[in-house]
Every structure is written in C-alpha cells, then in structure tokens.
Structure 1
Amino acid sequence: MWDYPRPPAVRPSSEHVVVRLGTTVVADTRRALRVLETSHPPTYYLPLADVAEGALVPLDAPTTVCEFKGRATYADVVGRDGDGSPVVARAAAWTYPEPAARYTELVGHVALYPGRMTLCTVDGEPVVAQAGDFYGGWRTRRVVGPFKGEAGTRAW
C-alpha cells in the first residue's frame, strides 16, 4: 500500500465481498470497487444494487469533503440480531452522489466502515478495520502497513 497512488486510484475487484451487521447480510458482491491511496489499506465501495433493501438509511448530516473525491453523504446501516431486534450502526456508510470528475465511477456505490459492522470478509477472509475513527480502510493479510490512523501516524 505504500506503492498506492496519490491522488487515489479506483480499481474494479471481482473478489467476493460480504458485509454482515448482526445476522443480516447487508451486502454480498463480486462487483466492488477498491479505492487505493498511499498509506491506507484499500476502501471497498459496493454497488448499491448489491446492498440489502432497507439496510441503508440516508442522513441529512453530516457531510464531509475529500480533497480528491468531493462531498460525501452518510447513512446509518441497519441489520437485525438473531432475535429479530434491530442493530443500527450510526453514520457507518458513505457515498459520493456527485463526486469529482475523476471519480464518477463511485456513483451508485457505498463504502462501509468495517469496524462498525459485525463482520466483513473479502474472499472469505475476515477484514480488520483501519485504525482511527475516520478511516475506512479494509485490512487483509495481502496489505502490509504501517497504515495511517495507527499510533504515531497523526503527522503523516
């Protein structure tokens, strides 16, 4: 990931990505996009068409601005526990409805903070969330750090 570019690059992925919140399969796809950026593990953007109906509840606020991709909007992610009770991950998903010109392929895709989900897997491997409460990187054994967000990386 130290050879990942800046500004970030978007690459299609045929990996099998599955996201669970509680017992709900929130997303299941082989059509993800990986955003690759120097000092970060990849962030996976999943097609909205491969997200369970009702799993995303859009929020009016907050919004954030990425210097490269533009303005992001957020959504709560909703699943169910084994007893049927709701599980809500607040502001755990984001989209770029009108990204900067270089990132238009992100339209119709959503990214999720893996650390706020019950389980995220890539080709069956459980994902480790990138450290820090702002970063959305998905760590697998293929990606070697150190990564931005870990102790001692604040000045990066």
Structure 2
Amino acid sequence: MGSTEPWNGLERERACDYPRPPALVASGALVEVRALGERLAESRRSLRVLETFHPPTHYLPPEDVRLELLQPASGRSFCEWKGLAHYYDVVVGERRLARAVWSYPQPTPAFAALAGWFAVYPALMDGCWLDGEAVIPQPGGFYGGWITSRVQGPFKGDPAHPELI
C-alpha cells in the first residue's frame, strides 16, 4: 500500500499514502483485545480500513468477538464512506465501557464486507495487540485507529499536527 520503508524487518506503511476514499484490506495478523479484565476478541481474520492520514482501524468478525460482553448502546453516527454505525457497551458484571465498540449492520456497497463486524476504540480497552505488539490509540478521542510500528504518521487527531485535526 503506497510508499514503504523497511522497519524491523517489515515494510512500514505511510498513512499519508493511504487512499481516499478508504480501502478495505484483509489481514492475517493476530489481533487481540482485552477489556475490563476479559479477552473481548482474538482473530487472524480482521479487515483493515485504510484512510489517508489515519492509522488502520481493524474490524473483527462476530465469530471472534465475545458477543455476550456487548450490549447495544444509544446513539448512532454516520460515516460518508461506510454508512450508519451502531454502538455497543462492553459490560462485565457491574462494570461498563460506554460506546466502546461499533459496527455497521448495513454498510454502503463499497464496504459490504464489514456488515456485522466489530471495531473497538483502543483508548477505552485494557489493551489491544497486533501480532503481540501493543497498540497506541489514535489521538483525538473520536477515532479508532491502531498505531503500531508498521505504520508511519502523522495521523489525523494528533494535536502536534493541527492541520490534520
């Protein structure tokens, strides 16, 4: 995808080279998500959304997510590319992470493969890992991108780059 440079034996992607409109790319990397002390998801079948100046957002198939930990939340949001997002709280016992997960039940035709798959806000989780590497959440609070050593910024939402906010 775009221009790359060697990085720890891997090709390092540059977020500035990601397309607009975004691309949807399958990944076989091991994705692990923990929330409220529980394993929320583990998958080698994520779909990455790659959008200009955003770190990848990983969407996980429902079979690889502990759906019993999710409860529908109020409110929706609209993405010009993917359509109407629905939100979920992560609930373990009496503890709750409000609107920490989202999904597109009926995405636009270009993103039909995402239907019913789930994405998480890494900043709200106990941790997210990509092939064992801890993920740094995309800055800005609104975004769900996964920053790792595999992708080079700058990234939208980073206060050090106000031109991208």
Q: Kindly indicate whether residue 30 of structure 2 is the aligned counterpart of residue 16 of structure 1.
A: yes
**Cα distance in 2 between the residues matched to 1:153 and 1:99:** 30
TM-score (normalised: structure 1)? 0.91
Question: Does residue 1:66 correspond to 2:79, yes or no?
Answer: yes
Instruction: Compute the displacement of 1:154 (Å).
Output: 4.5
Confirm or deny that 1:104 pairs with 2:112.
yes
In the TM superposition, residue 48 of structure 1 has moved relative to its aligned partner by 1.0
Q: Which has more helix, going by share of residues?
A: 2
Q: Which runs of 5+ in 2 are unaligned?
A: 1-14
RMSD value, Cα: 1.3
Moved over 3 A (4+): 152-156
Q: Secondary structure at the residue paired with 1:135?
A: coil
How far off its partner does 1:43 sit? 0.2
Taking the aligned partners of 2:95 and 2:149, their CA distance within structure 1 comes to: 28
Task: Spell out the pairing of 1:7-86 with structure 2 (5 A cutoff).
Answer: 7-59=21-73, 61-79=74-92, 86=94
Q: How many residues align?
A: 150
Inter-partner Cα distance in structure 2 for 1:62 and 1:18? 26
What's the TM-score, normalizing by structure 2? 0.87
Q: Deviations over 1:102-125 (max 9, x none)?
A: 000001210000010001000000
Could you list the runs of 5+ residues in structure 1 that have no partner in the other structure? 80-84
- Identical pairs, percent: 47
In structure 1, give the amino acid aligned to 2:38: T
The secondary structure found in structure 2 opposite 1:54 is helix
Is the Cα contact below 8 Å between 1:21 and 1:87 reproduced in 2?
no
